[in-house]
Chain A
Amino acid sequence: MAEKISLLVNGGKITADAGVSLAAALMNAGFVRFGTSVMAEPRGPLCGMGICMACRVQVNGQRGIRSCQTPVREGMEVVLDA
């Protein structure tokens, strides 16, 4: 079994396998909407490879982090739709 780690997403705790990307961890935890477009439409990951910028979230206070290029870390504090 993969080692489990936990992170805080919008204040709630989720668990993920160590080594997965943050985008995958969030989708596995049921998050579909990662952000809101300028016209207030819901958006989620599109390209999965760091180019479209649609999967950006706030991580440990830093905004604009591409979750598909970011491995999960124990204790990460993540804010979606920030």
Chain B
Amino acid sequence: MPEPSTPVESCDVLVAGGGPAGIAAACTAAASGAAVILVDDNSAPGGQIWRSRRKHPQKGLAGDWLAKFSAVTVRRLFGHRVVAAPQPRLLLVEGPDGAVFIRCGKLILATGARELFLPFPGWTLPNVVGAGAIQALTKSGLDVRGKRVILAGSGPLLPAVAAHLKHAGADVAFIAEQASAAKLLRFGFGLLGRSGKLRQAFTLWRRIRPWRITPGSWPVCVEKSESGLKVVIQSGVARHTLYADYLACGFGLVPNNELAILVGCAVGSGGFVQVNHENAASVDWVYAVGELTGIGGVEKGVVEGQIAGSAATKQAVDRVLLRQRAAAVKFAAALADTFALRAEVRNLADAQTVICRCEDVRLAALSGLQDARELKLQTRCGMGPCQARICGPILQLLGLPGQPSVRPPIQPCRLKTLAAQIKE
């Protein structure tokens, strides 16, 4: 039976995602007097990076934008996620109280990025988590005081998480950065031209100095032992065995592009949504901003959010923003180059290592398959609850077939939501 009473809401601009880019987009669009709705899966604004530490008011850029956002007229649907897009300009959204259709003039996608996880022996053990994950969990109340944490992976997230964990009382035992010292040095010199970034890097470095980052090192395997997790780290030609309560890995970020693909946006290499200089995507009613168009951090997100928020409401786009965007895009390219994953790190899995965690599909089961369809039919790889959000990027890195197709529902939802029908 179709559900007859699914409510329908309308707006000029729908923003999907309430992180820095989405907040900037919503504030800017609302300033024109447009009716704006913002939808986000989380229970509060800020996304992953501005996830408010409980009872700690945020400062700086985060504080400014969160204050601005709390003052504008925007309909906020937190705890809601987009499930399907049954027609152009019409999205089906599920919240705690059920389903709602939202009709919009323009859609601004600010769905952000998730962590890239890499498979290595033992990576499925409890307490082996994402680097961003341990930060998010700590911000949402995980007590890490006195806990020993090993951080491993690549990119500027590692020192940021290390600083955060130290502040929360954890003992950060080791930071393994897979990029070489030479690459990091070159990246550091590149920052000299960007005073803001350099100052940020310097502040971080001062806060985490006690442990130092070890470039050219990565986790090889982890197993459970009586003294917690036993982690083997490769560092140059040497191997060290370390013990920890948590192994937190962050090998980079991949865009949450499912909704973008669902509404028909063209995506390029790495899964990033292709946009023009005003962040318009290939579909005329859709814009994409922030990490979705290239991993560049908060500044890029805030700039792109403002650009799309203006463009989507026919306001003139500030030229200063366009210049800032060009610089941010350049910085994103430098990040991608510096922290590109070396072959050794991409190939840590052995034949028995699980690749698809939802269906427990091991690497050995994935050889000799022709395409994504065969991979799914033969192994169920990518068909579990996460719908290949974790193993999809891994398959791509390993050069295996299986870039999954995107079909509704793009998030797990209630049957009642699927049965929702729109009255014409």
CB pairs A–B below 8 angstroms (28 shown):
A19-B55, A24-B140, A24-B143, A28-B143, A37-B124, A42-B126, A43-B124, A43-B126, A44-B125, A44-B127, A45-B126, A45-B133, A46-B357, A47-B115, A47-B130, A47-B390, A48-B134, A48-B136, A48-B137, A49-B114, A50-B41, A50-B42, A51-B390, A52-B357, A52-B386, A54-B357, A68-B136, A69-B41
Q: How far is the CA of A66 from the CA of B267 in the complex (A)?
A: 29
Q: How far is the CA of A49 from the CA of B389 in the complex (A)?
A: 12
B54 touches A20 (CB 8 A): yes
* Nearest A residue to B41, CB-CB: A50
Q: Does B48 contact A (CB under 8 A)?
A: yes
Task: Enumerate chain A residues within 8 angstroms of B294, measured Cβ to Cβ.
Answer: none
* Nearest B residue to A70, CB-CB: B43
* Nearest B residue to A71, CB-CB: B43
Contact with B along A16-48 (1 / 0, CB 8 A): 110111011101100011100111011111111
Q: Does B142 contact A (CB under 8 A)?
A: yes
Q: Does B218 contact A (CB under 8 A)?
A: no
Asked whether A49 and B132 contact (CB < 8 A) given A19-B141, A34-B126, A37-B124, the answer is yes
Q: Does B412 contact A (CB under 8 A)?
A: yes
Shortest B334–chain A CB gap in Å is 26
Main secondary structure of the interface of A (DSSP, over half): loop
Shortest A37–chain B CB gap in Å is 5
Q: How far is the CA of A20 from the CA of B124 in the complex (A)?
A: 25
Q: Does B360 contact A (CB under 8 A)?
A: yes
CB contact list, B17-56 vs A, under 8 A: 41-43, 48, 54-55
Task: Enumerate chain A residues within 8 angstroms of B124, measured Cβ to Cβ.
Answer: 37, 41, 43
Asked whether A32 and B127 contact (CB < 8 A) given A49-B132, A53-B386, the answer is yes
Q: How far is the CA of A54 from the CA of B389 in the complex (A)?
A: 12
Asked whether A33 and B412 contact (CB < 8 A) given A23-B140, A27-B137, A51-B114, the answer is no
Q: Does B385 contact A (CB under 8 A)?
A: yes
Shortest B371–chain A CB gap in Å is 23
Contact with A along B400-422 (1 / 0, CB 8 A): 00000000000010000000000
Q: Does B129 contact A (CB under 8 A)?
A: yes
B141 touches A16 (CB 8 A): yes
- In the complex, how many residues of chain B place their beta carbon closer than 8 angstroms to a beta carbon of chain A? 39
* Nearest A residue to B134, CB-CB: A48
B412 touches A20 (CB 8 A): no
Task: Enumerate chain B residues within 8 angstroms of A71, measured Cβ to Cβ.
Answer: 43
Q: Does B359 contact A (CB under 8 A)?
A: yes
Q: How far is the CA of A23 from the CA of B54 in the complex (A)?
A: 15
Q: Does B117 contact A (CB under 8 A)?
A: yes
Q: Does B358 contact A (CB under 8 A)?
A: yes
* Nearest A residue to B141, CB-CB: A20
* Nearest B residue to A32, CB-CB: B126
A25-B141, A38-B358, A46-B390 given; name 11 further pairs at CB < 8 Å: A20-B140, A23-B142, A24-B142, A27-B137, A46-B128, A46-B129, A47-B114, A51-B114, A51-B256, A53-B358, A69-B42
* Nearest B residue to A41, CB-CB: B124
Task: Enumerate chain A residues within 8 angstroms of B129, measured Cβ to Cβ.
Answer: 44-48
The 5 closest A-B pairs by CB, nearest first: A20-B141, A44-B126, A48-B133, A24-B141, A21-B140
Task: Enumerate chain A residues within 8 angstroms of B43, measured Cβ to Cβ.
Answer: 69, 71
* Nearest B residue to A50, CB-CB: B41
Asked whether A64 and B136 contact (CB < 8 A) given A19-B54, A53-B385, A69-B42, the answer is no
* Nearest A residue to B138, CB-CB: A24
Contact with B along A49-67 (1 / 0, CB 8 A): 1111110100000001000
Most buried by B among A43, A44, A46, A71: A46
Q: How far is the CA of A32 from the CA of B138 in the complex (A)?
A: 15
Asked whether A49 and B133 contact (CB < 8 A) given A21-B140, A24-B140, A42-B126, the answer is yes
* Nearest A residue to B112, CB-CB: A49
Q: How far is the CA of A28 from the CA of B114 in the complex (A)?
A: 24
Q: How far is the CA of A52 from the CA of B249 in the complex (A)?
A: 14
Most buried by A among B41, B117, B142: B142
Shortest A43–chain B CB gap in Å is 6
Task: Enumerate chain B residues within 8 angstroms of A56, measured Cβ to Cβ.
Answer: 385
Asked whether A51 and B132 contact (CB < 8 A) given A24-B137, A42-B126, A44-B127, the answer is no
